[in-house]
Structure 1
């Protein structure tokens, strides 16, 4: 049995139509103790449809309502996934400070206002050049932005741009990855194991094993596990593999959050 799923999207996200009640009931059926609803908050991105314009007042009100209704069955955490960019950090600081979030994932979905998924950023670049560009942007974000709990799917840049951009020579990027991890740890923040890499044909978690290993070697402690589900069927998908990775690394704890404060949960 798994303890929690800390990366779940619902109908409030621009890329999901899943009903919150169905998410919660499925999570209870799976025996989870906690879930974090982490719908997308995107800002400063060109050519995103209006479906991505989340109404935070409505969203927060609904999560808090359901949190109270289901409090005797499961802990529901009010979360959000903020698609941060260096030029949008003031916006995210303002929005995140306005609401009583339990948990915030910071993610790099776009660079220079362009979504990674569009394939435009990859044009004219080699795989290594694109990945270096991405990691340097992540480093700038973690140096400037502190209003988050964990950084999401740190190396998922490989997911976009087609076959040419799949895979990674981690050693080529390890210097900047080390800087990212050190900054995250120094700031008292954490990372996630995101199991969606298996769904997207990469046959791995985000971040990949060598990066996870390095995070703990550098003294990292804060870690959540999330399915990044956009449909209820994907909740806890591939978590068995995530737990096996933690066992291989001899990690005995994951993290729970309340009002953005971490608590450590023993898993074995």
Structure 2
């Protein structure tokens, strides 16, 4: 049985139309104990105007559902904050205004350019594009403290077409280790995001070697998220993650309540 899904999108996100009631019913149906709704807040993102969740409507709705369903499932008020290095103060202001349980920090855009768009990859080699992405992740971690975990750390391979699919980890390993060390120093965590299976990459984000290194360096905080935008995808491919964590002797995953971390034993 899976414990939780800590990365789920609903009708409040610009890229989903799934009703919250469908999401919650699906989570209960498959026996989840916790469910984090983490709709998008991406500010100052060029050509992508619809990714700022309406927090004045979103927050009360999630809190109402949290109360209604509390005897059956623990619904977490979450947010996926699209971080850029100049948005640290904005992030702090927004996140501390509301009673969030859990905040994902995600780099979806760099210098206001959406990394899913061809514009980001134009006139760049794979090494340049991937290096720019990892540098942006590091810059954001250095600029911003108001988050729980860094999401889908190497998901940049999802974009740019076939030429950019193969990430040469050896060329970027120094900065990846620096990122992991900074996350640990700040007492933050990483997520294992299973959407890579749905995007045809047949893996989770970040790759197994990065997750292993995170634990070797002393990291402890980890969540598992499907990045589902449809109810049917909740907890998709979680068995692969649980099996992997067992194989590297990880016995706990993290839980958050009002942004305070605790740990749940993997059965």
Structure 2 length as normaliser, TM-score? 0.99
What corresponds to 1:107 in structure 2?
A: 106
Helix, strand or coil: the match of 2:58? helix
Q: Is the 8 A contact 2:13 2:39 kept in 1?
A: yes
Question: Residues 92-147 of structure 1, C-alpha deviation per residue, up to 9 Å, x if partnerless?
Answer: 11100100000000000000001011121111111111111100110011111110
**Alpha-carbon separation, structure 2, partners of 1:88 and 1:150:** 17
What corresponds to 1:187 in structure 2?
A: 186
What corresponds to 2:230 in structure 1?
A: 231
Q: Which runs of 5+ in 1 are unaligned?
A: none
**Alpha-carbon separation, structure 1, partners of 2:162 and 2:235:** 27
Q: Which runs of 4+ in 1 moved over 2 A?
A: none
Question: Residues 148-182 of structure 1, C-alpha deviation per residue, up to 9 Å, x if partnerless?
Answer: 00000000011111000002111111100000000
Helix, strand or coil: the match of 2:121? coil
Compute the RMSD of aligned alpha carbons: 0.7
What corresponds to 1:20 in structure 2?
A: 20
Q: How does 1:106-255 map to 2 (within 5 A)?
A: 106-255=105-254
Q: Is the 8 A contact 2:40 2:52 kept in 1?
A: no
**Alpha-carbon separation, structure 1, partners of 2:192 and 2:4:** 12
What corresponds to 2:7 in structure 1?
A: 7
Instruction: Report deviation, 1:206.
Output: 0.1
**Alpha-carbon separation, structure 2, partners of 1:173 and 1:159:** 17
Report the number of matched residues: 267
Helix, strand or coil: the match of 1:185? helix
Q: Which runs of 5+ in 2 are unaligned?
A: none
